[in-house]
């Protein structure tokens, strides 16, 4: 199989498997006071210190979660509830129009069920939020904004956001700023302290760690209302037995990713440029989406006029090439990508896109295989679409 969907998930690295395997051999709940529990707690805190070092934050700023989605929910819901408790006027949740659904959907849920006001900050045609656009949204009434959430890097088109500048705007008005950095960690110099953000979401399985573990980094003094209640773990912000082996694997994956980041990013950028060139050689009218320079090195998001993304995906899959579509599918009905629509694309273009994403293990052979397949696949998809429209 040619795997070009590393932005969805990537292989667990051998070093991570080895560390988790060793940890699975130990018994002990890190909340227990006996020797086995203390040993597990030591492993948890060593993982926390390692993760903090890799992310440019203090260990006591790291709150462990079961993944990026839970961390986003804790940030959006928890910060809203905490801010609304301080002042009932604080009802607006500002999110970028291109956020991952892990941030969008909690914000919409809060509007539907908790009296919040959901508001999207517009992006330009490349998918970037301008600091001026955020300022304009805030200044409509600064006192009623509960929080701002803008992702570090877009998961579909790969566009990078000016996080430090956006966080600075929010800070001027005393508003918490959250950023989902799930896609950025591993190829971008993500430093929580330097970003100026109030909260940051990270996840293990995008960087060679295990599925099922992540973290929300919270600046000192930022205390969201808990979403989960129970044993009071993680400063009572996220109750639940800590997953010691997964946390150790998370720390290992992040440490390796941080050490290799610069070289890995250069390698991915070269492969991405080769991939785009190979596709355009066989499909000259393919359109590359996202910012031309401020973009993740491992994502190439392309639209194929006259095609449907879902059809292209399945045709490539039949040839042993795995990628993802730029559209979501709900109850069997194809929907246009909200990211491309926010960038100004029409619905047809938004349904004609594919995301190819690279990672550890990707190489020239993958690009060659895609280049060989993409021309016939696009032609077949276009022919099928013409036939359906003529029927």
CATH number at residue 331: 3.90.1150.10
* Residues 168 and 135 grouped into a single domain: yes
Task: Say what the pLDDT of residue 329 is.
Answer: 44
Is the confidence at residue 3, as pLDDT, over 70? yes
pLDDT, tens only, 220-272 = 999 999 999 999 999 999 999 999 999 999 999 999 999 999 999 999 999 99
Q: What is the pLDDT of residue 335?
A: 77
Give the domain range for residue 96: 14-256
Check: CB of residue 213 under 8 Å from CB of residue 16.
no
First to last CA, the chain: 35
Same domain as 209, residue 277:
no
Using the 3D structure, point to which of 256, 276, 294 is the last residue of a domain. Answer: 256
% of the chain at pLDDT higher than 70 = 98
Percent of the chain with pLDDT over 90: 95
Reference 99, options 150, 145, 137; nearest CA is 150
> Residue 63: pLDDT band by 50, 70, 90 thresholds?
very high
Do 235 and 277 fall into the same domain?
A: no
Nearest to 93 by CA among 71, 117, 69: 117
User: What tokens were used for 129?
Assistant: 């939020």
Q: Are residues 225 and 265 in the same domain?
A: no
Residue 386's pLDDT band (cuts 50, 70, 90): confident
Dihedrals phi, psi of 43, to nearest 5 degrees? -65, -40
Same domain, 163 and 267: no
* Residues 268 and 249 grouped into a single domain: no
Q: Which helix (H) or strand (E) holds 247?
A: helix 244-282
C-beta pairs of 231-234 under 8 Å, 24+ apart in sequence: 231/31, 233/31, 234/63, 234/64
Residues 331 and 241 in one domain: no
**121 has which bridge partners?**
96
280 vs 370: CA distance, rounded Å: 11
Query: Which residue, chain included where needed, has tokens 């129009």?
Result: 97
One domain for residues 84 and 228: yes
Residues 6+ apart with CB under 8 A from 70: 214, 227, 238
Tally of residues, the chain: 391
Q: Specify whether the CB–CB gap between 289 and 343 falls below 8 A.
A: yes
Q: Do 249 and 276 sit in the same domain of this protein?
A: no
Q: What angle do CA 277, 282, 286 make, to 5 degrees?
A: 70
Q: Which residues contact residue 184 at a Cβ distance below 8 angstroms, ignoring those fewer than 6 apart?
A: 152, 153, 160, 190, 296
Query: Are residues 382 and 290 part of one domain?
Result: yes
What is the pLDDT at residue 330?
42
CATH code at position 198? 3.40.640.10
Looking at the fold, whether 226 and 293 belong to one and the same domain comes out as no
**Mean pLDDT in the chain?**
96
CA neighbor of 303 nearest in space, from 320, 272, 326: 326
307 is catalytic: no
The count of structural domains within the chain is 2
The answer to whether residues 282 and 244 belong to one domain is: no
Q: Which of 199, 225, 256 is the last residue of a domain?
A: 256
Domain boundary among 256, 273, 291: 256
């Amino acid at each position: 199989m040619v795997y070009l969907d590393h932005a969805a998930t990537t292989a667990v690295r051998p070093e991570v498997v080895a560390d988790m395997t060793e940890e699975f051999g130990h018994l002990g709940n890190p909340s227990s006071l006996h020797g086995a529990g203390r040993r597990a707690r030591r492993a948890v805190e060593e993982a926390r210190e390692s993760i903090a070092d890799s992310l440019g934050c203090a260990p006591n700023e790291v709150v462990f979660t079961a993944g990026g989605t839970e961390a986003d929910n804790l940030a959006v819901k928890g910060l809203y509830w905490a801010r609304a408790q301080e002042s009932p006027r604080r009802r607006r949740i500002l999110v970028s129009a291109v956020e991952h659904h892990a941030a969008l959907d909690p914000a919409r849920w809060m509007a539907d069920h908790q009296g919040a006001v959901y508001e999207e900050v517009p992006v330009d045609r490349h998918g970037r939020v301008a600091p001026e656009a955020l300022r304009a949204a805030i200044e409509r009434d600064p006192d009623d904004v509960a929080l701002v959430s803008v992702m570090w890097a877009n998961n579909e088109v790969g566009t990078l956001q000016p996080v430090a500048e956006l966080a600075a705007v929010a800070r001027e008005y005393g508003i918490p700023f959250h950023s989902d950095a799930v896609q950025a960690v591993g190829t971008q110099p993500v430093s929580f302290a330097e970003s100026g953000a109030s909260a940051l979401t990270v996840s293990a399985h995008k960087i060679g760690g295990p599925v099922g573990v992540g973290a929300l980094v919270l600046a000192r003094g930022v205390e969201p209302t808990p979403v989960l209640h129970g044993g009071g773990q993680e400063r009572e912000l996220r109750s639940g037995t800590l997953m010691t082996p997964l946390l150790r694997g998370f720390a290992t994956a992040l440490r390796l990713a941080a050490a290799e980041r610069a070289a890995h990013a250069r390698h991915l950028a070269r492969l991405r440029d080769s991939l785009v060139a190979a596709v355009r050689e066989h499909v000259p009218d393919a359109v590359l989406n996202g910012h031309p320079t401020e973009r993740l090195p491992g994502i190439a998001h392309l639209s194929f006029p006259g095609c449907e993304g879902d059809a292209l995906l399945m045709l490539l899959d039949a040839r042993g090439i795995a990628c993802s579509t730029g559209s979501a599918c709900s109850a069997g009905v194809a929907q246009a990508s909200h990211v491309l629509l926010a960038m100004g694309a029409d619905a047809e273009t938004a349904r004609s896109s594919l995301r190819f994403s690279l990672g550890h293990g990707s190489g020239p052979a993958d690009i060659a295989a895609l280049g060989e397949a993409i021309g016939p696949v696009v032609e077949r998809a276009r022919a099928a679409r013409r036939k359906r429209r003529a029927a």
